[in-house]
Amino acid sequence: MDIIETIKEQIANNTILLYMKGSPNAPQCGFSSKASQCVMQCGEKFAYVDILQNPEIRANLPKYANWPTFPQLWVAGELVGGSDIVAEMFANGELQTLIKAAAEKAKAGENA
């Protein structure tokens, strides 16, 4: 499968998806740590992709997303942003609202 197709599939199949360096429990950079902490504190399950283990995704996602850096948070198929945006949204409550709404919508879709 083409790497762009893989990325599209990951984004489509995961309501809340964080592309990061490392894992939420063992982040490999400060920015990934900050973003994953914010997402975890929202209290919903989320998927992650460790770009250090996936060099093709690391190389191609910035072009696909038109966003040059990692981490990248995707919610309901839309790029939210990187570490600073995620932290800012968390601080003002927007991130919690966005993630909760997306998770509820996904759960409703599973039950439909």
Q: Is 29 annotated as a binding residue?
A: yes
In one letter, which amino acid is 1?
A: M
The DSSP bridge pattern shows strands 72-75 and 26-27 to be unpaired
The answer, yes or no, to whether residue 112 has pLDDT greater than 70, is no
CA separation for the pair 38, 40 (Å, rounded): 6
Q: Is 84 annotated as a binding residue?
A: yes
Which domain CATH number covers 99?
3.40.30.10
Q: Is 46 annotated as a binding residue?
A: no
Q: Is 83 annotated as a binding residue?
A: yes
Q: Is 70 annotated as a binding residue?
A: yes
pLDDT digits (tens, 9 = 90+) for 37-56: 999 999 999 999 999 999 99
State which residues form the domain around 90: 3-111
Other beta carbons within 10 Å of 57 = 20
Question: Looking at the whole model, is its pTM more than 0.75?
Answer: yes
Number of structural domains in the chain: 1
